Structure 1
Amino acid sequence: MTHIHLPDSAPFGTLLGYAPGGVAAYSSDYETASDSEYPKRSSYRHYLDGIYMGYKWQCVEFARRWMYLNKGYIFDDVAMAYEIFNLRSVRDIASNSRLPMFAFANGSKRHPEPGSLLIWAEGGEFEETGHVAVVTEVFADKLRIAEQNEGHQIWPDGRSYSRELIATTTEEGEYWLQCSYNDATILGWMTQTDNDQHAEPTEIIDKQLFCLQSRRAKDRGRSTKSWLNVANEDEAAYVKAMHGHKLTSVGEDQLRYYVLSETAHESLIRATNELHALFMHATDFVLEHPKLLEKFNLPALLLPKIRQSWDNRLNELITSRFDFALADTGMKVYEYNCDSASCYMESAKIQGKWARHYGVTEGQDSGKELFAALVKAWSKSNARELVHILHDDDPEERYHALFIQETLQAAGIKTRVIVGFDSLQWNENGHIIDAQGKVLTWVWKTWSWETALDEIRCQIEADARLTEPFEPRFKQGKTPRLADVLLNQHIMIFEPLWTLIPSNKAILPVLWSLFPNHPLLLQTEFELSTELQAGGYVSKPIVGRCGANIQLVNQDNDIIEQTCGKFTAQDQIYQALFPLPRVDGYYVQVCTFTAAGKYAGSCLRVDPSMIISKDSDCMALRFVDDEQITGQHN
């Protein structure tokens, strides 16, 4: 939330006053923040006793810090302040247990009390974020609050609150608050209590709404007809890779698709946005703790470049993907593919054209907004002039590259696709140029960062004289190596180098330690604990791709599924077993995509085995009204 700079605003970081309990409130007038004191976005992150409070000095940061210092508990991280009104518990830090918290609407007969959180809706004065303040004193005709990021003025001497709001108590006992701004709305207040009398109802969601259902399109004799436009390069490359006009490789499945409820869709949107924020917090935490960073098994020569990437290019993320398991027992995230464009084209373009060809109109296409979201992300990025798109001579990489090219061009950015490295060379000025003599400055790649790391590790082993940080090896007129391009200080790579951290599965135990028992996370440890063994677990290499070298073990210590691969030498993490649901003969995984870190679409991946791999198929996913899942009709 950002406010207009006022003449009497105190400079950023100025102490404004103390709320009850001696909790300091600070100015968040960002226009006056010192570039030397806050040289990077991560400088604004605030931790207390190793617990993330929020961004300095936002309203959410103050509310969470007040709760922690005065009550010993905190509320879960939220993307926007107004979302606090949807929370129904807080986490007690000492006992690592959950305490109930209830929402009471403005006008409730349950009055706010000192320590309640007052919540504003999004919109108006509070733009898209809403606002939160801490209630300090309650009277029949007024309410006093303490807050940050509203006004930025120093509180008068001896006053322990920032503002006073007009209140009205009715004869029926209802408590109504008047907002100071005509264009803003007070939702109500949140109170930690065991008594839910007069609280906003906690919606009981039918667990069936999180169960995928299989459907089949009607066979109208269209299975043998072409439906992708091969005049478009990306679609022609896709048809070539798939050996025909089809979404899935199995002939009998050409008419099959899956549906999921709108309630599940909304939950996936919230989960994706919240999890992205959690993974970013964990990434920052790892980079601030060298001993923890060692567990990620990254070359020491690369660490300065990773930190530099995090400091300078935090907001340069374009594509990323979460992998979820959804069932009537809950929704859990497996991992975050923060360095992957896999399945973007299938979701954004192919499944929509499949549905139109086969006449599937039920619900809505789960990837219908993905292309536009990517175009918007590119438009807001710093990529300018010419973006080189690099990929190997691989059929799948080819259509992914051409699809991304289409999103870039739609954003008004010029592109050039390059296969391999043979056409690149070093020029006399130490820059890498293409066959037309154009210098590479912006690059989108299909290769994972781990591929470059393999090459760097080989170089380190071959040359013990290498010093930190790693630098490309300039040889005029010669073809550069993969690492020379991807780690070149003159070239900005998408996705940024820092994505190595959240994509590494070593981030999962860190997340669990920072946000234990979070409803979207699975318990994950660096060492196999007796607790994990008792409930069954999954072992994964901290660095691995495409479902390789994964082992599923049940509570009886029996291996129920495993895959092979080239990552056997990597350290392992151990994650609680939460199997994918099996629906109509396939184990089904829901993936959500982000564009610039925000939810942008979904897709479905299926496999006869319990582990999704690079060979697992995509199938069309449609979001339908809840009644079409539960069978209840009005």
Structure 2
Amino acid sequence: MDEIMPYRSTTIATVIANAIVIIQCLESARQAGDFYPTQEAMFASGIGNTTHVAYGEIMGYASTNVPAYSNENDTYVSYESHYLYGVYMGMKWQCVEYARRWLFIRKGCVFKSIVGAADIWTEVDSVQRVIDGKCFPLKKHPNGSPLPPKNESLLIYTRSGIDMLYGHVAMIVDILPDFIRVAEENYDFSYWSRNYSREIPYRMINGSYYVEDEYPVFGWMTVEDNNQAKPLDEATINILIKLNGSLFDLDLSIEMI
């Protein structure tokens, strides 16, 4: 219940408004001579209205306090920059924006500019703590690694066909015996039923671990911080707000997505 509380009021208001519109449409159709069962019509419409999330609306929260926003259509590019406490997060509401913002909120770190999500695997070898510039290495675990997926890692997808022109990145937020749970933006546009967007199976084959998703995966990347990277707290946020524009010295303002 706590996971849906932040957007409960918006959801309830939307559902009520939609119900009124549906009833009006059904009555108009009935007067015109077309009869549609009220219960079935409202149920079918309700499914559509509660699963597809409009652009910029919150789909869900992961890791306690990291909201994921809907891009509504995976082909849409807003070209709008998103900043948080004066730090550039990325382009609204792309997968890279979410990965960077998750790392920023949960570890106080960000990563450098890249063109597409797939480039994280080939071009990003560390994350940088915003408050003091300290860097922590990112360790690559190719799909087929002898080590299983690790929580709080970045799951990186390759470029593959028209659906994955720039690849994709998701955050691993939970590990189960046969599944990983991820949080992400610009993959699906439905309200989350839990504190993650979806579950992806993985399994061991001949001593190696493979994440088995619909699209090909490079692997996962873990932040090697030795527990030094911590979630943002009030003191850090206040410092960031005071610094504000000086944070662009981290060369984040030229990020494309």
Instruction: Compute the TM-score of the two structures, normalised by the length of structure 1.
Output: 0.27
Unaligned 5+ runs, structure 2: 1-47, 227-244
Secondary structure in 2 aligned to 1:90? strand
Separation in structure 2 between the aligned mates of residue 142 and residue 30 of structure 1, nearest angstrom: 26
Amino acid at match of 1:193: E
Deviations, residues 548-590 of structure 1 (Å, cap 9, x unaligned): xxxxxxxxxxxxxxxxxxxxxxxxxxxxxxxxxxxxxxxxxxx
1:132 pairs with 2:169: yes
Residue 103 of structure 1 deviates from its aligned partner by 1.3
Residue 152 of structure 1 deviates from its aligned partner by 0.5
CA contact (8 A) 1:133 1:147 kept: yes
1:21 pairs with 2:74: no
Amino acid at match of 1:191: T
1:71 pairs with 2:102: no
Amino acid at match of 2:89: M
Separation in structure 2 between the aligned mates of residue 21 and residue 70 of structure 1, nearest angstrom: 9
CA contact (8 A) 1:113 1:138 kept: yes
Q: 1:517 to 1:47 in 2, by over 3 A?
A: closer
Give aligned pairs, total: 185
Residue 75 of structure 1 deviates from its aligned partner by 1.1
Correspondence for 1:188 among 190, 195, 219: 219
Q: 1:146 to 1:517 in 2, by over 3 A?
A: closer
Correspondence for 1:516 among 238, 250, 254: 250
Amino acid at match of 1:516: L
Secondary structure in 1 aligned to 2:119? helix
Residue 94 of structure 2 corresponds to 58
Residue 194 of structure 1 deviates from its aligned partner by 6.3
1:107 pairs with 2:141: no
Please give the residue correspondences for 1:311-460 in structure 2 after superposition, counting only pairs within 5 Å. Answer: none
Secondary structure in 2 aligned to 1:81? coil
Identity of aligned residues (%): 35
Residue 175 of structure 1 deviates from its aligned partner by 1.3
Separation in structure 2 between the aligned mates of residue 11 and residue 194 of structure 1, nearest angstrom: 37
Work out which structure has the larger RCO, using CA pairs closer than 8 Å and 6 or more positions apart in sequence. 2
1:163 pairs with 2:194: no
1:175 pairs with 2:218: no
Residue 62 of structure 1 deviates from its aligned partner by 0.5
Q: 1:15 to 1:169 in 2, by over 3 A?
A: same
CA contact (8 A) 1:89 1:99 kept: yes
Unaligned 5+ runs, structure 1: 1-6, 34-39, 196-509, 519-596, 598-634
Separation in structure 1 between the aligned mates of residue 164 and residue 223 of structure 2, nearest angstrom: 27
Secondary structure in 1 aligned to 2:98? helix
Separation in structure 2 between the aligned mates of residue 22 and residue 517 of structure 1, nearest angstrom: 26
Deviations, residues 456-495 of structure 1 (Å, cap 9, x unaligned): xxxxxxxxxxxxxxxxxxxxxxxxxxxxxxxxxxxxxxxx
Q: 1:51 to 1:168 in 2, by over 3 A?
A: same
Secondary structure in 2 aligned to 1:66? helix
Secondary structure in 2 aligned to 1:126? coil
Residue 100 of structure 1 deviates from its aligned partner by 0.8
Please give the residue correspondences for 1:258-269 in structure 2 after superposition, counting only pairs within 5 Å. Answer: none
Separation in structure 1 between the aligned mates of residue 134 and residue 112 of structure 2, nearest angstrom: 13
Q: 1:100 to 1:154 in 2, by over 3 A?
A: same
Separation in structure 2 between the aligned mates of residue 27 and residue 100 of structure 1, nearest angstrom: 30
CA contact (8 A) 1:115 1:191 kept: yes
Secondary structure in 2 aligned to 1:124? coil
RMSD in angstroms over aligned alpha carbons? 2.7
1:11 pairs with 2:72: no
Separation in structure 1 between the aligned mates of residue 196 and residue 155 of structure 2, nearest angstrom: 13
Residue 514 of structure 1 deviates from its aligned partner by 1.2
Deviations, residues 27-65 of structure 1 (Å, cap 9, x unaligned): 10159x9xxxxxx965x2100011110111110001100
Amino acid at match of 1:189: W
Query: Structure 1: which 4+ aligned runs deviate by more than 6 Å?
Result: none
Residue 40 of structure 2 corresponds to none
Deviations, residues 70-127 of structure 1 (Å, cap 9, x unaligned): 0011111211000011211111112212111111101112222221000000123633
1:95 pairs with 2:132: yes
CA contact (8 A) 2:53 2:70 kept: yes
Deviations, residues 287-344 of structure 1 (Å, cap 9, x unaligned): xxxxxxxxxxxxxxxxxxxxxxxxxxxxxxxxxxxxxxxxxxxxxxxxxxxxxxxxxx
Residue 139 of structure 1 deviates from its aligned partner by 2.4
Separation in structure 1 between the aligned mates of residue 147 and residue 190 of structure 2, nearest angstrom: 31
Correspondence for 1:121 among 123, 136, 158: 158
Secondary structure in 2 aligned to 1:102? strand
Residue 14 of structure 1 deviates from its aligned partner by 1.5
Residue 414 of structure 1 corresponds to none
Residue 565 of structure 1 corresponds to none
Secondary structure in 2 aligned to 1:137? strand
Secondary structure in 2 aligned to 1:127? coil
Q: 1:515 to 1:176 in 2, by over 3 A?
A: farther
Secondary structure in 1 aligned to 2:152? coil
Separation in structure 1 between the aligned mates of residue 78 and residue 158 of structure 2, nearest angstrom: 26
Separation in structure 1 between the aligned mates of residue 162 and residue 170 of structure 2, nearest angstrom: 15
